[in-house]
Chain A
Amino acid sequence: DTAVSQTPKYLVTQMGNDKSIKCEQNLGHDTMYWYKQDSKKFLKIMFSYNNKELIINETVPNRFSPKSPDKAHLNLHINSLELGDSAVYFCASSQGTGDSPLHFGNGTRLTVT
């Protein structure tokens, strides 16, 4: 019954490695997002897809690459991980415009050592 699920919940890896985070939503929403939340709790939008089309692409290093195989899935691949990538990454979904409530996944805590 989980609405927005992302895996893994925890990810510990070394600098230079490549890793992926997966997200799936079963709410039938047309838009999915990746957010990064650092230790100061600021929620920073990274990417958004609407019906598999990239509609938001913030100033994010090109080591980060999102992929949306269908409107229920949005994955995030990160190449050459750096210490500064350590954060919690949230997937979210919504239906319609930004006025519509965002439904967040439980987050992936990424620690780069």
Chain B
Amino acid sequence: GQSLEQPSEVTAVEGAIVQINCTYQTSGFYGLSWYQQHDGGAPTFLSYNALDGLEETGRFSSFLSRSDSYGYLLLQELQMKDSASYFCASRHAGNNRKLIWGLGTSLAVNP
């Protein structure tokens, strides 16, 4: 089977750096995606890692290590507006149009 595990909650302060980890168990691996969802809003795509290494997009970076079955989302210079839920997701081994989702990490950024 496939599953993605991530912490349920993370708390940080404005200006800080926070890392949200995602560990996966899967029979086949096809890359890791990250989505952000504000309360009452829709999930929005943040990043995708197909290969090992770091992908940077502004204050957000995403990292993947396929050998360690592990990835993370790094948020720098945290702002209050970064308070949201963050989901990791990976393509299902048996259906290339289906995503397996983590349960989401609720990030609270405090002043």
Binding site for B on A (CB under 8 A): 31, 40-43, 45, 48, 50, 55-56, 90, 94, 97-99, 101-107
Contacts and interface: CB of A to CB of B under 8 A. Distances in A.
Contact of A99 (B31, B37, B44): B31
B103 A42 contact: yes
Contacts of B48: 99, 101
Contacts, number: 62
A43 B101 contact: yes
Contacts of B42: 90, 104-107
A105 B43 CA distance: 9
Nearest to B96: A97
B98 A98 contact: yes
B45 A102 contact: yes
Contacts of A104: 42-44
A102 to B, nearest CB: 6
Contacts of A94: 97
